[in-house]
Amino acid sequence: MPDAATKEQEPEISHEGSAPASAGSVSFAGAFETAGTDQLFIGVLEMTIDASPRLQLFVQLGFMGDWRSSGAGQDSMGMGNPVVGATYELPPFAPFRLHLTVGSTIPVGSGGGDDANPTVRDAMLSATDWGGPMFAPNHLDLFVGGKISYSSGVFGLRARSTFNEGIRVRGETVDVLGSNVMFVANALRGTVNLRKLSFFGEYLETRILNTPPFVRADPSARVSQYLGVGVSAQAGAIHKTALEPTLRFVRGIDQAKWDSGFQVIELGLTASF
């Protein structure tokens, strides 16, 4: 389940450095991923609610659709494992903000177990490249992480690191990942805010910390790296609901993903209320 948390679904709709202005939000990100003959659509719906001024609870639901180039295999669809968690914002120390996050997947999605459809199982594993461990069909993923944000004028900088441990809970006879996968997902994003538009560039990395079977078989799978660019807009409010669309392009830059032409185009929309 190598590439967890490559998406930046923020608990707050506001631009870097500003305070959250909502009691909750609903966001959807739809990503079109291509790599070699694989063509996947990955959708993730996230719902957040403020439990207190500094504590936010969230739930993520995901699905994927896999369609192949002509002659490259059978198409399939599947539901990801739901994700539940909480984010806590520490007292601010200007110009920095610090968030801590903990959570877990719930392994009830498609493609899991010894008797699952192998086509669906393989497609779910392919979806982990962008969708993260919610698409690992046979594993429970526990994660804890932190994010620090800095803002000065129109410029913003954000760094995030998340430790994940995937524990196999089903599908032992067919699983290719291993009984335990430990990895860290890191992200660095710089932002320029111009009026109602925010332009950003980012570096994303996932690093496997132990040596599960798929890393022993292919050492290049230990580290995955990406570069991305994007733009988000504050689109105004409808019935007191603020809207923020985001367009993002990401390219894999490690040797394996570069050779396969791995790339993602993602369109997201956050509604904050």
168 close to 178: Cβ distance less than 8 angstroms: yes
According to the model, what pLDDT value does residue 234 have? Answer: 86
Q: How many domains does the chain have?
A: 1
Considering only residues 82 and 20, tell me which one the structure prediction assigns the higher pLDDT. 82
Considering only residues 12 and 57, tell me which one the structure prediction assigns the higher pLDDT. 57
In a domain, 49, yes or no: yes
- Per DSSP, the three-state class of 68 is strand
In a domain, 8, yes or no: no
In a domain, 5, yes or no: no
Give the separation between CA 224 and CA 210, rounded to whole angstroms: 15
Q: In the beta sheet, which residues pair with residue 192?
A: 155, 199
Cis peptide before 95 (omega within 30 of 0): yes
Q: In the beta sheet, which residues pair with residue 151?
A: 156
The per-residue pLDDT of the chain, averaged, comes to 89
Asked if residue 70 has pLDDT above 80, the reply is no
Q: What percent of the chain has pLDDT over 90?
A: 76
In a domain, 140, yes or no: yes
Asked if residue 67 has pLDDT above 80, the reply is no
Count other C-beta atoms under 10 Å from residue 112's C-beta: 24
Contacts of 177 (CB under 8 A, 6+ apart): 1, 125, 136, 138, 139, 166, 168, 212, 213, 214
Pairing relationship of beta strands 237-238 and 197-208 according to DSSP bridges = unpaired
Listed range (123-132, 154-163, 236-245) with the worst mean pLDDT? 236-245
Give the separation between CA 52 and CA 184, rounded to whole angstroms: 28
Q: pLDDT tens across 132-164, in order?
A: 999 999 999 999 999 999 999 899 999 999 999
In a domain, 179, yes or no: yes
Confidence of residue 73 (pLDDT cuts 50, 70, 90): low
Mean pLDDT, residues 184-204: 96
Domain span at 74: 24-272
According to the model, what pLDDT value does residue 74 have? Answer: 64
In a domain, 149, yes or no: yes
250 close to 267: Cβ distance less than 8 angstroms: no
Asked if residue 196 has pLDDT above 80, the reply is yes
CATH number at residue 101: 2.40.160.40
In a domain, 125, yes or no: yes
Helix (H) or strand (E) holding 213: helix 213-217
Asked if residue 272 has pLDDT above 60, the reply is yes
Mean pLDDT, residues 262-269: 97
In a domain, 99, yes or no: yes
According to the model, what pLDDT value does residue 38 have? Answer: 81
